[in-house]
Amino acid sequence: MAEKLTRPASSIPGTLQVWRFVDGKLGHEKQTLGLTQALAQKISVDVRDFDVRTSNTWGAEIKARLQKRTLGHPRPDLIIGAGHATHRPMLMTRLFCGGRTVLLMSPSLPVGLFDLVFAPHHDRSREAKNVIETLGVIGPTQPSEKDANVGLILLGGINRHFEWNDDEVLCQIESVMQANPELDWTICDSRRTPSSMSGALKVLADGGYTRWQDATPDFLESRLPKATQVWVTADSVSMLYEALSAGAVVGVMELPLKRPKRSNKLARGLLKLHENGQIHLSHVSPRMPIKAATHKTLSESSRCADIVLERLFNLA
């Protein structure tokens, strides 16, 4: 509950027992991975994963506690999850197994049910003592030495927030590549990218086009740390924040809003990042000054890990 935040926590063991609840969705799992990795850089942690799609994982732990049996595993100190499907399993596990719950999204249940909630600024979550706003979604931070010749273009596709027009997107891609001829460009699409774009993308990329079906599971993890410049379409929020966390200079290929007169959380998030000087918008110019790459790598995961340790375990 929210009031636990102001109550001193009992001392934790030398190793923080973290139970991570996953739902099979890559975006959600990257968020919880980002937080667990950041915690591991600050304190010894032991992470166990529980897939909420299979109740006999976390359910077995609850059943064992009810039957006063032990499965040989320490009780959780921290229960982390993202995705609506994780809400109830997390809360039930805390009830019977103990631990503190940390949710990485705006919940579909009352926020007061969770010990700590990290919600993106653009979600406009209601104010509460246990709700912490984040600049976008939390993700793994992977800054590394950049290759000055590497450029990456990441495409989204059909979505409910923005209008998608193949010709307009292709025109923006061509403008970016022509304005930055010194870079070796790789284009990667996604599940949402219309198949009608494949032929044109192959021609534009001249051998540097990777279809999502052909991409290895670690494609982004291996390419983002090296890319000096990354462009993403406006609908690709998770890829945008991954690129920022990797320390790249990030440009956004803008798309028309489907409902321009209504408030749009993705558009609000983009505007906030632009105001902070963290992204470049395509309407300004298809070329970004590489010298602008002096901005700090987005490290929300590290900041959030500090908050978890301080507010839930009194570890400054």
DSSP 257: B
d(CA 307, CA 175): 42
Does residue 276 sit in the same domain as residue 156? yes
pLDDT by residue (tens digit) across 155-210? 999 998 899 999 999 999 999 999 999 999 999 999 999 999 999 999 998 889 99
DSSP 39: H
Task: Give CA 171 to chain center in angstroms.
Answer: 28
Does residue 197 sit in the same domain as residue 160? yes
Number of domains observed in the structure of the chain: 2
Which class for 72: exposed (0-12), middle (13-18), buried (19 or more C-beta within 10 A)?
exposed
Domain that holds residue 252: 147-294
Does residue 209 sit in the same domain as residue 260? yes
What does the angle CA 121 – CA 123 – CA 126 come to, to the nearest 5 degrees?
90
Does residue 9 sit in the same domain as residue 97? yes
pTM comes to: 0.67
Highest mean pLDDT among 5-14, 160-169, 245-254: 160-169
Does residue 211 sit in the same domain as residue 120? no
d(CA 103, CA 114): 7
Does residue 200 sit in the same domain as residue 102? no
Does residue 72 sit in the same domain as residue 184? no
Q: What is the CATH number of the domain that holds 152?
A: 3.40.50.2000
Does residue 252 sit in the same domain as residue 159? yes
Does residue 173 sit in the same domain as residue 132? no
Does residue 133 sit in the same domain as residue 224? no
pLDDT by residue (tens digit) across 115-158? 999 987 655 556 688 999 887 667 776 656 788 899 999 999 99
pLDDT bracket for residue 3 (50, 70, 90): very low
Could you tell me the CA-to-CA distances from 107 to 86, 110, 245 in Å, in that order? 10, 7, 24
Does residue 133 sit in the same domain as residue 154? no
Does residue 153 sit in the same domain as residue 289? yes
- The closest of 82, 223, 213 to 144, measured between CA atoms, is 223
Mean pLDDT (the chain) is 85
